[in-house]
Amino acid sequence: MTEAPQLGQLEKHLRSRRDNGRKLLIPYVTGGYPVEDWPRLVEGCAEAGADAIEIGIPFSDPVMDGTTIQESSSLALAAGADPLDILGQVSKIDVDVPLIAMTYYNICYHMGHRRFASQLSNAGISAAILPDLPLEEAGHWTKAADAEAVETILLAAPTAPDERLVRIVERSRGFVYGVGLVGITGERSELATSALEMARRLKAITDKPVVIGVGVSNPQQAAEVSEVADGVVVGSAVIRRVLDSGNIDDAVEFVAQLRAGLDAG
């Protein structure tokens, strides 16, 4: 018999906020972009009302990402961003919400599963998202992550049949990341109908927090999908504001608007 896993720090935190009637907001920040200021952007997101923050560790070949996050990643890499350096800076960030690492599997594989897990843990990171590591391949990583109490958030996509969703939800820790559309990250003018459908399918089978990401682009869309889901991840729409302006102020202001949109429901 395997015992039900203890709730991790992130999941406890998100559950309690959700159970108090709050919709969850998880912005994404590319580690290393903008070069000097990205830790300030993380702090700004927390102050603007984020419930947790995803920090991307840039990878050379981000196949799940559209042009915005590709661009911020390559700018970070060109400026010399490296995973250990980013994690070192994360450990100095002072915020009162959980942090989540998002990167591609080769970064973890290359560092070694146990070392990567302990590096995340040492940096004060609660959870990890590895978008090219599906359930069937995740065993080595989840073993190492569980040992360090790093929660592994799995993605659930609209293309998954029902029986697969059940297995994903079962193994996901922290929350379940519902992919809002059939496609890669990037802003969209309309909320995909698949986003609501994804949220409904997941809510029907789990009590874990269900958060929808990919394609959620503005406060209206965030509020709309959160009528069914427990909250949203917003990445490209945040990062694009940094790319456009060259500083973090617009992005922080945008996160505050997302917060207001979600609170107004």
Partner 1 sequence: MTSTVSATNFMDDPDDNGRFGKFGGRYVPETLVPACAELEVGFREAWADQAFREEFEQLLQTYAGRPSGLTECANLSEELGFRILIKREDLNHTGSHKINNVLGQTLLAKRMGKSRIVAETGAGQHGVASATAAAYFGMDCVVYMGEVDMERQKLNVFRMELLGAEVRPAMSGSRTLKDAVNEAMRNWVATVESTHYCLGSVMGPHPYPWMVRQFHSVIGDEASKQCDELIGGAPDYVVACVGGGSNAIGIFSGFANSDAQLIGVEPEGGAAVGSAVPGVVHGSESYLMQDEHGQVLEAHSVSAGLDYPGVGPEHAHLADIGRARYESVNDREVLEAFELMSRSEGIIPALEPAHGLAWMVKAKEELAGKTVLLNLSGRGDKDVAQVQAIKAGDPAALSTMRP
Binding site for partner 1 (CB under 8 A): 59-66, 70, 74, 77, 82-84, 105-111, 131-137, 154-161, 164, 168, 179, 182-184
Residue that is written with structure tokens 């915020």 in the block: 95
Complex with partner 1: residue 110 or 143, whichever CB lies closer: 110
Contacts of 30 (CB under 8 A, 6+ apart): 38, 55, 56, 58, 69, 72, 73, 76, 239
Closest to partner 1 by CB, 84 vs 260, is 84
Tokens (6 digits) for 256 = 């505050």
Annotated active-site residue 54? The verdict is yes
Instruction: Name the token pair of 103.
Output: 């990167």
Least Å from the CB of residue 22 to partner 1: 27
**Cβ at position 262, least distance to partner 1 in Å:** 25
Closer Cβ to partner 1, 135 or 196, answer by number? 135
Q: Which residue among 51, 65, 151, 187 is the active-site one? A: 65
Q: In the complex, what is the shortest distance from the CB of residue 177 to partner 1, in angstroms, rounded to a whole number?
A: 9
**Nearest CB to partner 1, comparing residues 154 and 243:** 154
Cα–Cα distance between 184 and 204 in angstroms, integer? 25
Complex with partner 1: residue 186 or 219, whichever CB lies closer: 186
Min dist. Cβ of residue 238 to partner 1 (A): 20
Q: How far apart are the first and last CA of the chain?
A: 42
**CA–CA gap between residue 231 and residue 225 (Å, rounded):** 8
d(CA 116, CA 122): 10
Which residue is catalytic, options 3, 11, 36, 54? 54
Tokens of residue 49, six digits: 């009302």
CB of 226 to partner 1, least distance (A): 21
| Concatenated DSSP letters of 20-84 | TTPPEEEEEEETT-STTTHHHHHHHHHHTT-SSEEEE---S--TT--HHHHHHHHHHHHTT--HH
Active site residues: 54, 65
